[in-house]
Amino acid sequence: MSLLNTSWLEERELDAPALAALQLERFHEAMAVVRRALQRFVLRAIGRAVAADDVRRAERPLQGRVLLLREGGMPWTRVVVDEMPDVLLVVYPESLRAQYQLRTVPAATGSFASRMDLPAAWAGLRDDQLSAVTGVSDAVFCHMNLFIAGARSWKARCGWRRWRWRFPLPPSPSGRGMG
């Protein structure tokens, strides 16, 4: 904000009324910047709260191990890491492309380690190769680091659910079995 203060170079040729007018103009500029920053701060805080509620209410098939989100782009990580110890995978629409992502849950907020990895056999596979391995007909890719995979349709989530038979999920951290 101090960058909006007048400088000696601007002030040196001004009389008192002109200097006061310039300082008032800069004050109004600073107020506009602060107002915009506060609006963005409040909007983001509201967005986090709404997203957290949506995440908490989302469907959790496979005895709570998978979280299905209907909207992409929302911040889900903190809620899942802090409040949902059984959730290992999250499925959501990708914000910018016509794709649906399958994402592993980080072991802790900010961690690159996951509660579980996707199967090693999927690493780096794309399209038909990944479809053949997963049984998901419109599979698109699996990252080499096994933390994210994608498919072209929401319907693919039904295919992802079939992993239970091909890809046994580890025991639940809370002690609940797969049933």
What are the backbone angles phi and psi of residue 166, rounded to the nearest 5°? Answer: -95, -25
Residue pair 107/113 in contact (Cβ under 8 Å)? The answer is yes
Over residues 130-176, the pLDDT tens digits come to: 999 888 888 999 999 999 999 988 766 556 555 544 455 666 666 55
Total-model pTM: 0.74
% of the chain beyond a pLDDT of 90: 63
Q: Does the pLDDT value for residue 13 go beyond 80?
A: yes
Can you give the pLDDT at residue 167? Answer: 53
The residue ranges of every structural domain in the chain are 2-51, 60-166
Q: At residue 92, what are phi and psi to the nearest 5 degrees?
A: -155, 155
pLDDT value at 109 more than 80: yes
What is the reported pLDDT for 69? 92
What is the reported pLDDT for 162?
A: 57
For 28-78, the pLDDT digits (tens) are 999 999 999 999 999 999 999 999 999 999 999 888 999 999 888 899 999
- In angstroms, the CA 170 to CA 46 distance is 35
In angstroms, what CA-CA distances link 163 with 66, 67, 84, 128? 11, 14, 20, 17
pLDDT at 177: 44
